Amino acid sequence: MVTDEINCPVTPPAKVVYSITYALPGQVGFCIPQISEDPKYLQRLLTLLADEPLVISQQININNTTAGSIVITYNCGVMSDVEMRSHLCNLIQFAGNVEVLPATANQFKLYPVAKNLESRQDTKPKSSLDASVSKTKSNSVSSTHSQPVIQQTKQPAKVAYSVAHAIPGRVRFRIPRIASDPKYVQRLKALLKSDSTVTSERVNSAAVSIVITYKTAMMRDSHKRVQSFLSAAVSHLASLIQSANDPAAAIS
């Protein structure tokens, strides 16, 4: 019978539903309901992100309001933000495969162009003189590059935050550190008051959030103009949130 020889194909895993809540240079927030519904999916996703060399950190929020959100901070000096967000979307989908292993994530890694150039140069034949010269160069390069790595480990961790609501002239940030570090809150208020574009700020310790109002420039009623202005304002205010992390920040 022909029906006995038919092999049904294996059903591919369903696509992971997600949305981008906000995006800034070097950071992007995703809403992924499956994070709060499937602990194994979350474990696979964190494994892939931990194995990704361009990802600096990730923050998971699982509650009724965020419905499973994740904020990913990455190195934005290697590729464009659009390419990096597309790469992170691929990892989100790939984590939906129950057979994903840490080793299989290597096919999704994105390395700096410099590494690819070094690997190509290593394949070229070298004479004995070239080998000795290159060896001394590699030793000097490794010694000069060792110091920046040490300095990076001493830098303070970035302040975790998310944009809860944003309209032209008003932004509400959610900053978990508000609940545990009153000195940070004091420095942040001082920086905001000293900024000429900020008109007011209001901290809500219970909701670990801060509402910031700022001056809006004269602009036409254009969606592109509004989005561009809003993105620039949020980016500026986010830089103040990070600057307040420095204990040396002036407090007026």
Residue 10 forms part of a structural domain: no
Domain with 223 in it:
162-244
Q: For residue 236, what is the domain's CATH number?
A: 3.30.70.100
pLDDT bin (cut points 50, 70, 90) of residue 198 is very high
pLDDT bin (cut points 50, 70, 90) of residue 184 is very high
Q: Supply the DSSP string of 71-112, one letter for each residue.
A: EEEE-TTSS-HHHHHHHHHHHHHHTT-TT--GGGGGGG----
Separation between Cα atoms, residue 101 and residue 44, nearest integer Å: 8
Residue with tokens 């999916």: 41
Separation between Cα atoms, residue 231 and residue 229, nearest integer Å: 5
Give 30-39 pLDDT, tens digit per residue.
999 888 888 8
Of 72 and 221, more confident: 72
**pLDDT recorded at residue 112:** 43
Write phi, then psi, for 60 (nearest 5 degrees): -100, 135
Which of 96, 119, 154 terminates a domain? The answer is: 96
Residue 126 forms part of a structural domain: no
Residue 169 forms part of a structural domain: yes
Which of 41, 61, 96 terminates a domain? The answer is: 96
Give 46-92 pLDDT, tens digit per residue.
988 888 888 888 888 766 555 678 999 988 777 788 888 888 998 89
Residue 152 forms part of a structural domain: no
The mean-pLDDT minimum among 13-17, 160-164, 184-188 falls in 13-17
pLDDT bin (cut points 50, 70, 90) of residue 209 is very high
Average predicted confidence (pLDDT) for the chain: 74
pTM comes to: 0.39
Which of 56, 77, 96 terminates a domain? The answer is: 96
Residue 115 forms part of a structural domain: no
Q: Is 80 exceeded by the pLDDT of residue 171?
A: yes
**pLDDT recorded at residue 246:** 84
**pLDDT recorded at residue 106:** 46
Inter-residue long-range contacts of 186-190, CB under 8 Å, 24+ positions, other chains counted: 186/251, 187/244, 187/246, 187/247, 187/249, 187/251, 188/240, 188/241, 188/244, 190/244, 190/249, 190/250, 190/251, 190/252
Residue 54 forms part of a structural domain: yes
Residue 55 forms part of a structural domain: yes
Residue 145 forms part of a structural domain: no
Number of domains making up the chain: 2
Contact between residue 109 and residue 52 where contact means Cβ atoms under 8 Å apart? yes
Q: Is 90 exceeded by the pLDDT of residue 185?
A: yes
